[in-house]
Amino acid sequence: MKIKILHLYPDLLNLYGDKGNIECLRKRLVWRGIDAEVVSYTCENSGFDLSDVDIVFIGGGSDREQKIVCHKLLEHKAALREYVENDGVLVAVCGGYQLLGKYYKLEDETIEGLEILDIYTDQGKKRLIGNIVLESDFLNQKIVGFENHGGRTYIGGHKPLGRVVCGYGNDDNSGAEGVVYKNVVATYLHGPLFPKNPQLCDYVLTNALKRRYSDFVCLPPLEDDLENTANEYIVKRFTNK
């Protein structure tokens, strides 16, 4: 078995080392004897073929970098939308998450999005920065992470990734964080999202494997004692639970 991971624009969107999530996806496959191929698509590349891709990852970036990426991504709008509608696995973090929506409205201009999700983002006055803990209804482990965004994302009828137990979330008001749509996981949680949340990483890998191999059933467990202890420590530290 083999999974191909496409990292979109790591040259521009790689805030807080979002790239480490790619390494985590890769390692958790290799540890199970599944081959993993990681390919980067940067501003230097041309052509855009998702036909043999199993997981697409888009990281976060500053508003300046997002503006540049936005124009590049819009060239691939139809291909990315088709990929998602065909159950392609897509993980988008922070700036990448905002770009999946209709737009990201800044004070003096509006960045157009891919309209893969029926969401939009408005820039707020204060940045929403800090540790965050979520409860999701499809994992039995809380999702922990760090958020830093000026945008407030309004997700309408979409299902959130989780409910905020501690932190700001999508819009500092609704108690929702991120979006799960088909095989898309979109979130404001930066940096080591997958290393800190092994169950979420395996959820993404399982969706990719099920899509690629119709007879795939489930991933064998890994020894996640350290990862789980780190996750539980953060949950306790920020929620007293």
Q: Contact between 95 and ligand GLN (CB under 6 A)?
A: yes
Q: Contact between 15 and ligand GLN (CB under 6 A)?
A: yes
Dihedral sign for Cα atoms in the order 22, 56, 96, 64: positive
Q: Contact between 101 and ligand GLN (CB under 6 A)?
A: no
Which listed residue (3, 60, 80, 90) binds ligand GLN by CB under 6 A?
Answer: 60
What does the chain come to in residues?
A: 241
Whether 94 is catalytic is: yes
Total of residues contacting ligand GLN (CB under 6 A)? 12
Supply angle C-alpha 92, 76, 73, rounded to 5. 55
Reported as type and span, the H/E element at residue 112 is strand 110-112
Are 120 and 103 within 8 A, CB to CB? yes
Are 48 and 76 within 8 A, CB to CB? yes
Complex with ligand GLN: residue 92 or 205, whichever CB lies closer: 92
Q: Contact between 66 and ligand GLN (CB under 6 A)?
A: yes
Which range of residues in 60-68, 76-84, 133-141, 157-165 is near ligand GLN by CB under 6 A? 60-68
d(CA 169, CA 94): 11
Which listed residue (11, 63, 115, 224) binds ligand GLN by CB under 6 A?
Answer: 63
Q: Contact between 61 and ligand GLN (CB under 6 A)?
A: yes
For 61: left if phi > 0, alpha if psi spans -120 to 50, otherwise beta; the answer is: beta
Q: How far is the CB of 155 from ligand GLN (least distance, A)?
A: 15
Which range of residues in 4-12, 56-64, 173-181, 222-230 is near ligand GLN by CB under 6 A? 56-64
136: Cβ contacts below 8 Å, ≥ 6 apart: 142, 143, 161, 162, 163, 200
51: Cα within 13 Å, side-chain hemisphere: 2
Complex with ligand GLN: residue 28 or 152, whichever CB lies closer: 152
Tokens coding 2 = 């083999």
Choice among 70, 94, 166, 201 that is catalytic: 94
d(CA 91, CA 58): 6
| Binding residues among 142-201 for ligand GLN as defined by CB under 6 A | 148-151
Residues that bind ligand GLN (CB under 6 A): 15, 60-63, 66, 94-95, 148-151
Catalytic positions are: 94, 190
